[in-house]
Amino acid sequence: MRPMPAPLAEIWRGPFAESLHHGHVVVCGSDGDIIESWGDPQAVVLPRSSAKMIQALPLITSGAADARGLSVRQLALACASHQGATVHVQAVKSWLGDLGLSETDLRCGPEITRDPDLARAMILSGTSPCQAHNNCSGKHSGFLTLNRHLGGHGDYVEPDHPVQRACLEAFETVTGQSSPGYGIDGCSAPNFATTMHGMARAMAFFATAADRQDSLSRAAARLVAAMYGHPDMVAGEGRACTLLMRAALEPVALKTGAEGYFVAMLPSRGIGLAIKVQDGATRASECALAALLVRLGVVNAQDPAVVRFLNPEIVNRRGMVTGQIRPAADLMH
């Protein structure tokens, strides 16, 4: 009988546990074997944007990144689910300009910026969002760079396009599994499925990549270093990825994904982990991630940036604290 999803995060209102989020967690060591798990390690999942580092691997292994002289900051942006803040939008437009392209060549679709200051400014000026504001536009800029290198047609998000075939090959290599299929992501690119163990194994591959010299490992090591070197490009101000990477007591690379997914790569320990909240709640995946980082000694539980996700207060419309989000006890102990 397959294991059931495990409790990951609790929602408390006063003295009552009002809601409970269940899901799966797998932690893998340097050999790809499971160190710890909660829930079902064999649950098949769509890792959503948590797979962006994997999707960026062919950008480097193909030679496209070096042929275009991409910076470390651009490599971080290729792995990003960014805020669509001015710094991200300008970086994307500059990258596309270097390719002789524009945001109309992207296939991710327009998205309202998640940056509150820019959102207000755009509303006041009557400016409509474009595709560069899309949180996936950095990944898509990477796709376009790879596509230019491969000489493919413009619809680079098609599942049978050379760009996506390269992504699938990289995905199956680092997860160590054949993907059972894909779903179309919010940004229109295929998102390949794997098991929780497969995704945690992939994160361990990234975490230990600097110890190996093959081309795929060298590419993975560059992406990990880019992410923890530029946490502001990976997400943005106020976001869990950025704040928790800054708060970490050692280099770590963290990446969220839609529908309650989160991954972490810990190079100093050779550990990779994957989290999936069954009901898709981001509040629960952020809480679970913070709890696991505390459990592993990667962050300080008293750091305000950590408390923000580990034990966030629930505040009502009058500003009264009415409850708290807490990690399930088994994650902390």
* Residue-range domains of the chain with CATH: 6-332 (3.40.710)
Q: Is the pTM of this model over 0.95?
A: yes
pLDDT at position 36 is 97
Q: What residues form DSSP beta bridges with 218?
A: none
pLDDT at position 333 is 78
CB 144 within 8 A of CB 106: yes
Pairing relationship of beta strands 34-38 and 16-28 according to DSSP bridges: antiparallel
pLDDT at position 1 is 84
pLDDT at position 61 is 98
Calculated CA dihedral for residues 255, 256, 257, 259, nearest 10 degrees: 160
pLDDT at position 188 is 98
pLDDT at position 266 is 98
DSSP designation for 230: -
> Cα dist. 300→219, 285, 296 in Å?
30, 18, 10
Query: What DSSP string describes 272-310?
Result: EEEEEETT--HHHHHHHHHHHHHHTTSS-TT-HHHHHHH
C-alpha–C-alpha distance, residues 234 and 138, integer Å: 9
C-alpha–C-alpha distance, residues 254 and 257, integer Å: 10
CB 190 within 8 A of CB 164: yes
Spatial neighbors of 331 by CB under 8 A, at least 6 apart, are 8, 25, 38, 288, 291, 292, 295
pLDDT at position 22 is 98
- For the chain (333 residues), the mean pLDDT of every run of 10, in chain order, is 95 96 98 98 98 98 98 98 98 98 98 96 97 98 98 97 98 98 98 98 98 98 98 97 98 98 98 98 98 98 98 97 96 84
